[in-house]
Every structure is written in C-alpha cells, then in structure tokens.
C-alpha cells in the first residue's frame, strides 16, 4: 500500500517524476521517458509552462487545428481550435464554407454584465439591514477605490450593488449582488478582489453602526466570489438564407432539409436527454476556441448549461425557423471571455491564436466563439438528419483506430483509400486491417 508523502510540492521536478513512477506505475524507464519526452527543448519556455500550475511534471498536448473560411459580419476569419475529438474541426470548417457563400454569420452583443456576490448570514430585523445598506453602499464602493481606479479609466468598473433577501430559500441568508463591466479582461481576479473588499468593509461598518443590537451586529460573511452564471453577458450569432439556397442533401430536397433541421432543433427544445447531447456538440466548437485563446472553458461550460435551464427545463441553446421562405438558425449564449490578462499575454500559442484571430477585443472574441458553436451545431445536425452522425465521424476517427492497431504509414494510406468507398465502423476497420496484414 502506498503511503502518503509530505512535502511533495518541494521536490524537484525530476524527483516528483521518479516518485510517481516508483509508487504509482511499474517504475520502468519507460514511465520516466514518457513524461520527459513532452518537455520542451527550450528550457526557458518549459520553465514558463512549469509555472502555470502547481506540481508540474510534464506538458499535456492537445492538437491545435484551424477552421478556415468563417465570414463573420463581412470579415473573414481562420479560427484556431484546440481539441482532442476528431471531426470537430472538419465539421466547423465545412459549415463555415457552406455559409460563406450565403451571407456568412451575423453577430451582435446583447450584454456584457458580469456578476459577483457576497454571501452572508444576518439574524435580525430586515428593515434595519435595508436601512443600513443604503447608508453603507457609498462606503462599499469607496473601500475598493484603488482596485477599480484603472478599470474605471478604461470605462469599466462596478455597475451596481444590491442587497438581496434570500431568507425564503435559506434561513437568515442575504447577499450583496454586484455587477461589473470588465471590458477586455475576463475579470475574475478584479471581481473577486472587489468582493473581498466589500465584505471587509461590510464587517467593519456593521460594528460602527448604532442602529443594530449586539446580536444583529454578529453578521457572518460566508464567502465572497464571482458567479459563472452571467445571463446578461450574452452574444447572439445567426445565419439565414432562402430555403431554396440550402440545396439538396443526399436525395433530400432543400425544403425537406430545412424542415428536418427545424424539427431536430425543436426536439432538443422539448427533450432534455437530446438537449444535453445537442448542446454538448455546440460546446465542442466553443470549448475548442476558448481553450486555444487561453480562456476558462470550465466557466464557459457551467454558465452555458445553466443558461440552457434558466426557464425551468434544460433545453436547446440554438434555435431554427422557416418564415416566408427563409431558413434561420441562431444561438444566444452567455460568454465571459478575455483577451488581456491570464494566459493571454504569456502563453506563446495563446498569443499566436489571438493574432490569427486578428487580435480581437473581448466583445469580438465573444462573437467568434459563438459562431464556432453555431457552426458546429449546424454541421452535427446536418449529418444527423441526412447520412447519420457515424458516417462522417468514423471516417475522421479512422486514423485514431489505425494508430491503436499499430498500422504502418503504407497501411494507413491503403485503408484510408479503402474507407472512402466503404462504411467505417470500429469492427470494419479491424477486419480490413487484419485482412491487409494477412495478405502480406
């Protein structure tokens, strides 16, 4: 049985690797070699990566692909995407090419408000607390003046502070519900610093307020933290064209194709089991761009899925309609993104990805990311309502299967050519591979 270790974080990287190999693997030279093989040969660059997180032992690579031909608001983009799943970049690229000749993607920002909260417990008269809040509110803002100074110079800052009574949900529970404008920064550190300043000011001012009894002064600050649910930081992206411009797909007329797309979206609207997978496909496109640009894809995921359930049932993030002979397909999604701060200014590939995107502002990046999600969803639905999802996906997954089987480069070329004309399933690939080997 492996025993706990004290001071792991103080070990050198070499010693961390040796300890992991000795205690949690078969401790062969292969274990150490695998971890070291992903170190960067540039020591300075490797040191930079080592300092991104704690207890670093190596780098974990993901492919960085490019999806070209995205026409967004009449401007052409090539979108970097970091993802391990095959067919995502291909589907996005195919959708981009399809809509590039049909007017492209149109986007708009519906809001950029971000949220943070100070959660606290107060056992006393609510009217007294409300009166106290109106007195102390200017002091709360003044208490974080040094923090917000530079943000305010750029046009951002605190946009509101509200006292919210949540006692109907949880006994004695209140909160300061605060909203912020953080411009091109994602703003997590800025918001959390403000919230902690508010909570300290609140505790200090409570003690100096004569309107409370001693018991009412015993306010407990539970926590001060930003929220990743941002229903007022939303972007809209859409495509549209005459139904006749959709063209026939695999024997399906343009009119029937449009109807099938609308029905597919409507099913995701009313059936949560389908909606989760539907939205997962959207996030395939969104997360890949968020990751490539150094943003927090976990926060984006959490906020998007909460938004999908905001009306009481989990539902589709995309919408589709046919009106007066015009097919429309659109998405509205919350996205809190940044183009300054965090990894955006220090990770070489992140900086390059942003340069490829023509150095967008945070608002522009919101629009690009939303388009990537919409394109991915269009591509997935088009496959689902025509050929089925497996035909295209398995052909893209073909090389992964062949690599698992240990195929040579010559075998890969032969089998890729073979499956251009045959259905690619895992079992079919294994059979074809074995037949090819046996012939030799």
Of 16, 393, 395, 397, which is the active-site residue?
393
Q: Which of 286, 440, 254, 306 is nearest to 376 (CA)?
A: 286
184 is catalytic: no
Q: Which of 307, 251, 256 is nearest to 279 (CA)?
A: 307
> Which tokens is 295 given?
């943003």
- Do the Cβ atoms of 240 and 322 come closer than 8 Å? no
Of 94, 296, 364, 395, which is the active-site residue?
296
Q: Say what angle helices 362-385 and 254-270 make with each other, to 10 degrees.
A: 110
**DSSP for residue 212:** S
Q: Is the dihedral of CA 223, 227, 232, 233 positive or negative?
A: positive
Rounded CA gap, 105 and 329, in Å? 10
Across the strands, what pairs with 181? 157
Burial (Cβ within 10 Å: 0-12, 13-18, ≥19) of residue 251: exposed
Write the CA distances from 403 to 260, 353, 400, 406, integer angstroms: 36, 28, 5, 5
What is the separation of C-alpha 1 from the centre of its chain, rounded to a whole number of angstroms?
A: 39
Of 23, 75, 280, 422, which is the active-site residue?
280
> Which tokens is 25 given?
């693997």
Of 85, 181, 205, 411, which is the active-site residue?
85
Rounded CA gap, 314 and 374, in Å? 18
**Torsion on CA atoms 413, 414, 420, 423, rounded to nearest 10:** -120
218 is catalytic: no
131 is catalytic: no
85 is catalytic: yes
Rounded CA gap, 340 and 361, in Å? 9
**Torsion on CA atoms 191, 194, 199, 201, rounded to nearest 10:** -170
For strand 106-109 and strand 64-72, is the pairing parallel, antiparallel, or unpaired?
Answer: unpaired
Q: Which residues are catalytic?
A: 85, 280, 296, 393
């Amino acid at each position: 049985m492996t025993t706990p270790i004290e001071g792991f974080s103080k070990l050198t990287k070499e010693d961390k690797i040796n300890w992991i190999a000795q205690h949690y693997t078969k401790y062969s030279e292969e274990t150490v070699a695998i971890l070291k093989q992903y170190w960067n040969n540039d020591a300075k660059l490797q040191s930079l990566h080592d300092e991104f997180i704690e207890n670093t032992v190596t780098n974990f690579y993901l492919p960085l692909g490019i999806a070209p031909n995205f026409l967004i608001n009449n401007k052409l983009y090539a979108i970097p995407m970091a993802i391990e799943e095959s067919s995502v970049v291909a589907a996005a690229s195919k959708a981009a090419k399809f809509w590039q000749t049909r007017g492209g993607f149109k986007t708009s920002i519906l809001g950029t408000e971000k949220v943070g909260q100070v959660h606290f417990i107060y056992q006393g008269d609510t009217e007294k607390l409300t009166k106290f809040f109106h007195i102390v509110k200017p002091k709360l803002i003044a208490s974080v003046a040094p923090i917000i100074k530079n943000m305010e110079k750029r046009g951002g800052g605190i946009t509101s502070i509200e006292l919210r009574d949540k006692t109907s949900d949880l006994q004695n529970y209140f909160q300061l519900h605060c909203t912020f404008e953080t411009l091109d920064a994602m703003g997590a550190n800025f918001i959390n610093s403000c919230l902690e300043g508010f909570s300290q000011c609140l505790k200090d001012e409570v003690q100096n307020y004569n309107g409370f009894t001693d018991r009412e002064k015993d306010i407990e600050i539970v926590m001060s933290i930003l929220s990743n649910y941002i229903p007022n930081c939303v972007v809209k992206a859409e495509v549209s064209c005459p139904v006749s411009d959709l063209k026939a797909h695999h024997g399906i007329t343009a009119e029937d194709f449009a109807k099938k797309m609308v029905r597919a979206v409507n099913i995701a609207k009313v059936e949560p089991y389908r909606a989760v997978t539907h939205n997962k496909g959207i996030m395939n496109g969104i997360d890949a761009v968020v990751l490539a640009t150094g943003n927090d894809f976990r926060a984006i995921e959490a906020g998007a899925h909460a938004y999908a359930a905001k009306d009481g049932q989990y539902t589709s993030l995309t919408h589709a309609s046919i009106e007066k002979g015009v097919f429309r397909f659109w998405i509205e999604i919350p996205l809190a993104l940044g183009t300054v701060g965090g990894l955006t200014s220090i990770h070489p590939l992140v900086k390059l990805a942003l340069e490829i995107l023509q150095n967008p502002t945070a608002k522009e990046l919101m629009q690009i990311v939303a388009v990537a999600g919409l394109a991915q969803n269009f591509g997935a639905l088009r496959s689902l309502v025509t050929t089925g999802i497996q035909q295209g996906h398995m052909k893209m997954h073909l090389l992964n299967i062949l690599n698992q089987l240990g195929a040579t480069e010559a075998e890969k070329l032969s089998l890729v050519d073979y499956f251009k004309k045959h259905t690619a399933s895992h079992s079919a690939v294994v059979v074809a591979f074995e037949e090819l080997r046996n012939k030799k």
